[in-house]
Chains A and B, each alone.
Chain A
Amino acid sequence: MNNIIVFPMVIPVLTGIFLLFLRRHIILQRWVIILSLLATMIISFIILGQIQTEGILRLDFGDWKPPFGILFVADSFSMLLVLTASFVATACLIYAFFSIGEAYEKMFFYPFVSLLIGGVNGSFLTGDLFNLFVCFEVMLLASYALIALGGKKLQLRESIKYMAINVVSSWIFLVAIAYLYGTLGTLNMAHLSVRIAEVGQTPILTVISILFLIVFSLKAGLLLYQWLPGSYSAPPPAVAAIFGALLTKVGIYALFRIFTLMFYHEPSITHTMIGIMAAITIIGGSIGAIAYNDIRQIISYNVVIAVGFILIGLAVGTNIAFEGSIYYLIHDMVVKALLFLLAGTMIILTGTEQINRVSGLIRNYPVLGWLFFVVMLSLAGIPPLSGFLGKVLVGQGAIESGSYVLLALGFLSTLFVLYSLLRVFLNSFWGETMIMVDDEKPLRKGLVIPCLILTLATVGLGVGAEGISVYVIDAAKTLSNPEIYINAVLNN
């Protein structure tokens, strides 16, 4: 029994409910939510340490033993993501304090963010497929509210699309769960894995696994990413940053969990499909990233490219590729949040999202320019920044297994990422300055500090990769040896 592992979900949920009572007290709301997130971070860190000494932790809710009850399972993979998610959310919230405006804060903005984080952390931690669905829904309901909050025409249009696509995919999710339960009679992930191994992955199970693949592809933006750029460019920057950093990653996490723990017997079908989907995602994302002049579209397509790249690791399926994917996943959460915040700051300062209407920003706002430069290098995978190690390891995995096409596409995508952001940099930051010193809007410290924190994190993750390597290696080991997870869950 390890009650501690439920807290990364319960603290944000409880905070979200508690904040409903404090609707008018904005300052108090800010303090409560930031303290709760810090507490979540500290607890996640403690759990991560505990896993290294005691192995995978699990908690049976209400003392119902698996496979009968629902449970939370904390392994290094899920805890690394929980920790990163809480950290990124904290930075985005600090940005929100200074940019979101009172109207939002009075319309339950913080409760929704808090519930969203609770849902995200719950999805990472749960060891039960139906519970995963529930946590997904908590997260999605909060995100529906956040995307529509503000009520601008663009937001309403995009939120209808976003909701429609997610309701449909949740429905498919539910159907897939029902099929799986009908076939195997259990929903505990470890127990499912055992049963699938016993009966062998029959064609019907492979079909069900493809249904899951479709669901999580919709959520993660793998191949079925067409809804993503529009939806992620509608809400205000702080919300877009939380979305871009966290929501697709939950889908990616679910894909990794399901296809390493449960449906790993037919890689020639499922993993090949994932590989093809990842390849097309990368190509589509790359074309999108260089096709637009709207900075929000550019960075949204960058999210898509990263999804494809991370899933190369899953398609390749070697231990080293898993390590690479995990590094890259953590890196991408931090850097995408940073990218969205920087782009949001640019839009706030210049009042336009068209990159060709702005130039010479680096003269007016040198800090912003240099931060953008760093994030560009980090995304391109220049050492010693955090993107480097992930790219190298995924590449190494791809070479080991002879997936040269994926390897080539993965590294070509890096060039497209670099080119798309360089275009922003050359257009908007270099050249003659268009903003007179008198018209210059002051760059508020509150907007820079979260960006600085995240930049430090990307540098720190790159330079101090040694520090997290213990956890990443352990996480990759669990992913490539499902029996570790199964033993931890089913052996009392």
Chain B
Amino acid sequence: MKINDVILQTITRVVVFIILTLAIYLFFSGHYDPGGGFIGGLVLASAIVLLFLAFDIETVRIGIPINFRVVAAIGAFIVVATGIGATVFGTPFLNQAFKTFNIPFFGEVELSTVTLFEAGVALAVVGVVVTIILSISKDG
């Protein structure tokens, strides 16, 4: 019997973008408010998992031709590399720098290197979560 998943697929097409927006919002709010790389990454991964559920793995693979193991490795690499990066500037390992810039339209924006670190965390989380889900689904 063929399962009719028109509703799920239609809703997914819209909802995925909402989830992705939320993920980005959570990622950037993480500096002073709840959120950050780990949570942002989890939400982002949930969007991809929803795509896997609504469509099948092969279709999504064609749409997003990314090897998620590599994503996880890149993420972890960024995390450690930003930590070491601090030592290059003669500051303690894992030290972070930040500065406030005045960018037109956005106004006062604080840019900090911790965002790079968080980006690494997010990538690692996305990579690991999706890899785990894909590995489990293979057995079924």
Q: Which residue numbers of A lie inside 8 Å of B, CB to CB?
A: 1, 3, 6, 10, 13-14, 17-18, 20-21, 59-63
Contacts and interface: CB of A to CB of B under 8 A. Distances in A.
A10 B80 CA distance: 8
A31 B26 CA distance: 41
Nearest to B75: A17
B93 A59 contact: yes
Interface of B: 69-70, 73, 76-77, 80-81, 83-84, 86-87, 91-96
Given A10-B83, A13-B80, A14-B81, A21 B95 contact: no
Contact of B76 (A3, A17, A59, A62): A17
A236 B28 CA distance: 46
A17 B30 CA distance: 25
Contacts of A13: 80
Given A10-B83, A14-B84, A21-B70, A62 B77 contact: no
21 contacts: A1-B91, A1-B92, A3-B87, A3-B92, A6-B93, A10-B84, A14-B77, A14-B84, A17-B73, A21-B70, A59-B92, A59-B93, A60-B92, A61-B92, A61-B94, A61-B95, A62-B86, A62-B92, A62-B95, A63-B92, A63-B95
A59 B69 CA distance: 32
A21 B81 contact: no
Contacts of A18: 77
Contacts, number: 42
Contacts of B87: 3, 6
Contacts of A62: 86, 92-96
A231 to B, nearest CB: 24
B93 A10 contact: yes
B86 to A, nearest CB: 8
A6 B85 CA distance: 13
A3 B96 CA distance: 14
7 shortest interchain CB distances as A-B pairs? A20-B73, A3-B87, A62-B94, A6-B93, A61-B94, A17-B76, A17-B77
Contacts of A59: 92-93
Among B73, B87, B92, residue most surrounded by chain A Cβ atoms (within 10 Å): B92
Contacts of B70: 20-21
A62 B113 CA distance: 12
A62 B114 CA distance: 11
B82 to A, nearest CB: 11
Nearest to B88: A3
Contact of B91 (A14, A17, A63): A63
Given A6-B87, A18-B77, A63-B92, 12 more contacts: A1-B91, A1-B92, A3-B92, A14-B77, A14-B80, A14-B84, A17-B77, A20-B70, A20-B73, A21-B70, A61-B92, A63-B91
Contacts of A63: 91-92, 95
Output the residue of B69, B77, B87, B93 with the most chain A CB within 10 A: B93
A20 B93 contact: no
Nearest to A16: B76
Nearest to A6: B93
A294 B35 CA distance: 54
Contacts of A20: 69-70, 73
Contacts of A61: 92-95
Contacts of B92: 1, 3, 59-63
A343 B93 CA distance: 42
A6 B92 CA distance: 10
Contacts of B73: 17, 20-21
A14 to B, nearest CB: 5
Nearest to A21: B73
Contacts of A1: 91-92
Contacts of B69: 20
A20 B94 CA distance: 23
A1 B89 CA distance: 13
